[in-house]
């Protein structure tokens, strides 16, 4: 019974039936909306308990996964912000689109893993094995990758600005169009690596091994290449303006069309 403008009206059986149906439909819609969240929560619980290796899209912030065997695990799009994966086994794991910001992956096995478009800013990968892994388009700004093994790793269009790559082994890696501005690559090995079109502005490449590397069209302006081995490297069209090439080895390097304005050359002269 309702009151409207002082009049008393009664709910008819027909209106009552419609209201029941409406409420039931709203209840079903609410249940359907909650099902994915409930499924993710259950999936996360099973994953953390070790009962499952499949947890795509799960919320796993700061999860303690040290030394866990997660080989072939499916963590596509999972939130692993601040997670501890130290010495975990993640070979062939699916981590495409996952959020690994500030995560600890030191000495972790990530061979052949998929981390395409993953977010891993400031993540720690010290001595991690990322050989043949796919990190194309990944966000790795300020990541700690000292002495990481990235042989034949795919890093095309990855963002590695200010990343620490000291002593990293990146032979035959693909870094086409990658952003390595101000990255620390001191004593890194990049033999036969593909860095075509990469941005290495102000990067530290002291004593780096770049034999037969493809640096065609790369931006190496203001880069420090002191003592770097560029034997047989392709530097055609590269921007080396204001770069430091003191004691660098350029034997057999292709410098056709390279911009060397203001560069400090191996013989100590400044290129005009």
pTM of the model: 0.84
- Mean pLDDT, all residues of the chain: 90
Categorize the per-residue pLDDT at 44 as very low, low, confident or very high, splitting at 50, 70 and 90. Answer: confident
Q: What is the reported pLDDT for 32? A: 46
pLDDT > 90 in the chain, percent = 81
User: What's the CA dihedral at 245, 251, 255, 260 to 10 degrees?
Assistant: 20
Categorize the per-residue pLDDT at 16 as very low, low, confident or very high, splitting at 50, 70 and 90. Answer: low
Q: What would the mean pLDDT of 252-257 be, rounded to a whole number?
A: 98
Return the SS3 of 192.
Answer: coil
- Does 182 have pLDDT greater than 80? yes
Return the SS3 of 151.
Answer: coil
Q: What would the mean pLDDT of 69-87 be, rounded to a whole number?
A: 98
Which range is least confidently modeled, 45-54, 145-154, 203-212, 247-256?
45-54
Return the SS3 of 109.
Answer: strand
Return the ∠ at Cα 125 (arms to 46 and 66), rounded to 5°. Answer: 30
74 vs 1, more confident: 74
For residue 187, give every residue at least 6 positions away whose Cβ sits within 8 Å of its Cβ, in sequence order, or none.
Answer: 166, 167, 206, 207, 208
- The helix (H) or strand (E) run that includes residue 2 is strand 2-4
- Does 37 have pLDDT greater than 50? no
Beta partners for 234? Answer: 214, 254
Contact between 63 and 42 under an 8 Å Cβ cutoff? The reply is no
Look-up: residue for tokens 């400090």? 264
Question: Alpha-carbon distance 268 to 243, whole Å?
Answer: 12
- Does 100 have pLDDT greater than 90? yes
C-alpha torsion sign, points 10, 13, 17, 20: positive
CB atoms within 10 A of CB 217: 19
Number of alpha helices (DSSP H) and beta strands (DSSP E) in the chain: 1, 2
- Backbone φ, ψ for residue 229 (5° rounding): -95, 105
- Does 162 have pLDDT greater than 90? yes
Contact between 109 and 89 under an 8 Å Cβ cutoff? The reply is yes
**Helix residue spans in the chain (DSSP H):** 13-48
Q: % helix / strand / coil in the chain, to the nearest 5?
A: 15, 20, 70
Contact between 172 and 154 under an 8 Å Cβ cutoff? The reply is no
Q: What is the reported pLDDT for 66? A: 97
For residue 226, give every residue at least 6 positions away whose Cβ sits within 8 Å of its Cβ, in sequence order, or none.
Answer: 206, 207, 244, 245, 246, 247, 248
For residue 165, give every residue at least 6 positions away whose Cβ sits within 8 Å of its Cβ, in sequence order, or none.
Answer: 145, 146, 148, 183, 184, 185, 188
Q: What would the mean pLDDT of 68-80 be, rounded to a whole number?
A: 97
- Does 5 have pLDDT greater than 90? no
Categorize the per-residue pLDDT at 12 as very low, low, confident or very high, splitting at 50, 70 and 90. Answer: low
Categorize the per-residue pLDDT at 40 as very low, low, confident or very high, splitting at 50, 70 and 90. Answer: very low
């Amino acid at each position: 019974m309702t009151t409207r403008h002082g009049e008393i009206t009664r709910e008819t059986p027909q209106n009552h039936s419609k209201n029941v149906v409406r409420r039931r439909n709203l209840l079903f819609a609410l249940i359907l909306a909650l099902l994915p969240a409930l499924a993710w929560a259950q999936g996360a619980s099973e994953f953390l308990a070790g009962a499952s290796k499949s947890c795509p899209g799960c919320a796993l912030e700061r999860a303690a996964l040290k030394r866990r065997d997660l080989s072939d695990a499916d963590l596509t799009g999972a939130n692993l912000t601040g997670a501890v994966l130290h010495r975990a086994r993640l070979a062939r794991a699916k981590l495409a689109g996952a959020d690994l910001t500030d995560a600890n992956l030191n000495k972790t096995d990530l061979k052949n893993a998929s981390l395409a478009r993953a977010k891993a800013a400031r993540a720690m990968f010290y001595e991690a094995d990322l050989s043949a892994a796919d990190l194309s388009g990944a966000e790795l700004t300020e990541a700690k990758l000292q002495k990481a093994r990235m042989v034949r790793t795919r890093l095309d269009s990855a963002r590695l600005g200010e990343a620490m790559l000291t002593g990293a082994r990146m032979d035959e890696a693909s870094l086409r169009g990658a952003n390595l501005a101000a990255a620390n690559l001191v004593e890194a090995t990049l033999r036969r690596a593909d860095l075509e079109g990469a941005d290495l502005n102000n990067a530290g490449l002291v004593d780096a091994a770049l034999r037969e590397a493809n640096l065609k069209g790369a931006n190496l302006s203001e880069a420090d290449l002191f003592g770097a081995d560029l034997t047989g490297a392709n530097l055609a069209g590269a921007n080396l303006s204001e770069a430091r090439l003191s004691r660098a080895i350029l034997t057999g390097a292709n410098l056709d069309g390279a911009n060397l304005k203001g560069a400090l050359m191996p013989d100590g002269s400044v290129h005009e």
